[in-house]
Structure 1
């Protein structure tokens, strides 16, 4: 909808008052003119009869009965009569009158060459009265129309904004503000609507975060309570001397070590998870350039021994890929890719295979990490990157991680301007695909 500035709107309103007044005046004149003309003709005929009657009764001018008859006869007709003698002295007059509202006719009466007096008739001026009345009505109609425009496009939106402000203060964000053709009011309305929409989204987001927080705290309490309970139990047995043999004591200590490591992993993941919430504000100057391909080969070599211990093969299908310069935090990215490789090792059975591949695509470096494990249930795919979500519902640390590894990995990639997705392979197993934006070429100077 097109709008205009408030100054133009006010100027247009004032101009419309003048134009509409003239328009309404013309319309009213067209409607009333026939009536006024008929009344004027009627009054003219009455005036002619009155002139003939009065000038024909010169001898009765001073007769009280005749004057009373004339007074009664012309009172209701809107015709005023004034009779004066030759010296100008008033002989008779039919009540007060306002000369501005009357058209006058004057007749000098002469009999036998002698001046007998002067008769004046004042006929009510309908044209003037109806003209003034039409102008007043036209002005009122124009003002009412402009008042309606101001009310609809200025006052009503402003009143709605005032009401909306009070409703917002009371916590009610369900409000609507009418549109306006005034630019300033429309801008304020748009800002109000945007603020309301932002507050609604914020409250919705806050409710979602609150729900996630409750789940987060419940899940953390569960994940910490279980290993702590086991750790306390075995330590209590050792304290009470219930480990009769060295082998049993060693087994108890081994369990305590495993549970302490589990707690350490959980606390470490919680720390990294909290840190990734602010990674998008990370200073770009703190990132360093490195070659993603060489860095990925080192990561594969680090995990190759672990894979061999489980009789799992890690295959590098990248071949002689060209340089893939990126800019970021290698330590955080190592944590992200390490979480993906840990996840693949955890779910790949002995004799299985993990395939790693990376390649350049436009201004991105893309990679995939796939395994031959059981894959991800379809109902769990949309949730694998949610914090503390596990497809394995028992939350057993032996069959699953802390539930934050994939969340941390995705956040790290997004903080570096990339992304991470999950899918199932057509034959079997899960596949994680990610990408990072390419950085400036890395120049190596040799002596």
Structure 2
């Protein structure tokens, strides 16, 4: 595995260079093997006398010379037929010359010698006619005087020594000559094919992935193919881009869905109070006589419905502000005890018409701990949403308990009521945007479904959390934890 990873991390340039060197080495080795096989083949033929050696005609010369020396009047062309019966003319030429070098007869009409001295200088020595060897041997008469010479011309090659089967040597020579080029091409093709498959798969997957992205299909993953370093980086970058695009599109689709939900919720929430307002205005317009009590009742209903519309618009404005990336808290030093008592007194007055008891208590509070750093306006907004919710659902004669605990770095508000609690088992749903509990949806007053969502966002801005649950007995319980922001924390004003 380690070796595979090292190979896959090599650069494209490095792999091309190493592949070229490997192709060259393998081609050379294959060529040497081929040459060795061809050499062994011809060695076998020679050993079994299937072909003549390259010096085949040269080996015939001593016998021919002896035969010539035994002949009388060799210069007479009547000996021509006799000579040609023993000379292997298929691969050897000859000529008989006098002592002046004139050609008397033979298969070589060309005159090579020009004088007796020239003849004497060339006897029993080799000289060349092109690529062929030429040798002259003396011819004597009965008294032992030099009367001329006989010359033989031949080649020291396997092809010339085996004129009956030249194709074997041409084939062997051709294979020996072409084998380097053939093996270089073959090994290059194999390596090229392998290398192309290695780089084609990542490219094909990237192209296929691009088509899928074009069709809004982002639920795919590229294979982790071991290829070149550059292609691995390209695949990884494409995968990262796909994931970032997927996350971005999901956020966009979620925002679009939230926008549609918001429009539907706002239309639903505005429809009811506006319909009530329209109905009561039409009722007032149809009144023929003045009825003070009826007029007052109508105006109160119109005023309540108008407040619902205004509150919904305010909640939408708060959501827009809090969700904006540049939103920040306005943190101030606050006396938490005075803050809680003022809010408790406000809700005690609202509780009297329903004969509801509001109990506000403190834990671990002293002159040193009661000074905290929070955004009092936003925390006041959170408490309004929770307390008004408890007040709405607590029955006549019920109890709302509010306990405030102060710690060194955090403040905890615990609010519980004796109402019916939440109808949903998953209480985290109540903090979702535009969530409406069944009872609240059907309640007479109704609400926007944004209050608890806004509360959760504000608490998170204070680096805290808010949870809700049903008590074992009837009633709802809220736990709000916020951090003591200290001076200047979160980049807010102090």
Structure 1 length-normalised TM? 0.76
- Per the alignment, residue 329 of structure 1 pairs with 375
Q: Distance in 2 between matches of 1:385 and 1:202?
A: 24
1:151 aligns to 2:196 (yes or no): yes
- Per the alignment, residue 47 of structure 1 pairs with 52
Q: Is the 8 A contact 1:109 1:118 kept in 2?
A: no
Q: Distance in 2 between matches of 1:199 and 1:400?
A: 40
Matches for 1:429-444 after TM superposition, within 5 Å: 429-440=475-486
How far is the alpha carbon of 1:197 from its aligned partner?
2.2
Matches for 1:57-96 after TM superposition, within 5 Å: 70=90, 81=91, 83=93
Q: Distance in 1 between matches of 2:83 and 2:263?
A: 116
Q: Is the 8 A contact 1:3 1:181 kept in 2?
A: no
Secondary structure at the aligned position of 1:413 is classed as helix
Matches for 1:266-281 after TM superposition, within 5 Å: 266-278=312-324, 280-281=325-326
Q: Is the 8 A contact 1:326 1:440 kept in 2?
A: yes
- Per the alignment, residue 462 of structure 2 pairs with 416
Q: Is the 8 A contact 1:326 1:437 kept in 2?
A: no
Cα gap change, 1:149/1:111 in structure 2, threshold over 3 Å: closer, same or farther?
same
Secondary structure at the aligned position of 1:281 is classed as coil
Q: Is the 8 A contact 1:62 1:91 kept in 2?
A: no
Q: Is the 8 A contact 1:157 1:180 kept in 2?
A: no
Matches for 1:189-338 after TM superposition, within 5 Å: 189-242=235-288, 244-278=290-324, 280-283=325-328, 286-290=330-334, 295-321=339-365, 323=369, 327-338=373-384
Q: Is the 8 A contact 1:325 1:439 kept in 2?
A: no
Q: RMSD of the TM alignment (CA)?
A: 4.1
Q: Distance in 2 between matches of 1:437 and 1:149?
A: 62
1:15 aligns to 2:50 (yes or no): no
Q: Distance in 1 between matches of 2:92 and 2:400?
A: 124
Q: Distance in 2 between matches of 1:378 and 1:107?
A: 118
Q: Flag the structure with larger Rg.
A: 2
Query: Once structures 1 and 2 are overlaid, which stretch shifts more, 206-215 or 172-181?
Result: 172-181
Gaps of 5+ in 2: 66-79, 109-130, 141-148, 159-168, 489-494
- Report the count of equivalent residues: 417
Secondary structure at the aligned position of 2:456 is classed as helix
Q: Distance in 1 between matches of 2:229 and 2:157?
A: 57
Q: Distance in 2 between matches of 1:316 and 1:411?
A: 25
Q: Is the 8 A contact 2:405 2:413 kept in 1?
A: yes
Query: Once structures 1 and 2 are overlaid, which stretch shifts more, 249-258 or 136-145?
Result: 136-145
- Per the alignment, residue 228 of structure 2 pairs with 182
Gaps of 5+ in 1: 71-80, 93-103, 443-447
Query: Once structures 1 and 2 are overlaid, which stretch shifts more, 432-441 or 43-52?
Result: 43-52
Cα gap change, 1:47/1:397 in structure 2, threshold over 3 Å: closer, same or farther?
same
Q: Is the 8 A contact 1:389 1:403 kept in 2?
A: yes
Q: Distance in 1 between matches of 2:333 and 2:5?
A: 51
- Per the alignment, residue 77 of structure 1 pairs with none
How far is the alpha carbon of 1:346 from its aligned partner?
1.2
Q: Is the 8 A contact 2:440 2:447 kept in 1?
A: no
- Per the alignment, residue 164 of structure 2 pairs with none
Q: Distance in 2 between matches of 1:331 and 1:38?
A: 103
Cα gap change, 1:321/1:65 in structure 2, threshold over 3 Å: closer, same or farther?
farther
Query: Once structures 1 and 2 are overlaid, which stretch shifts more, 15-24 or 108-117?
Result: 108-117
Q: Is the 8 A contact 1:416 1:436 kept in 2?
A: yes
Structure 2 length-normalised TM? 0.70
Secondary structure at the aligned position of 1:390 is classed as coil
Secondary structure at the aligned position of 1:282 is classed as coil
Q: Distance in 2 between matches of 1:30 and 1:350?
A: 106
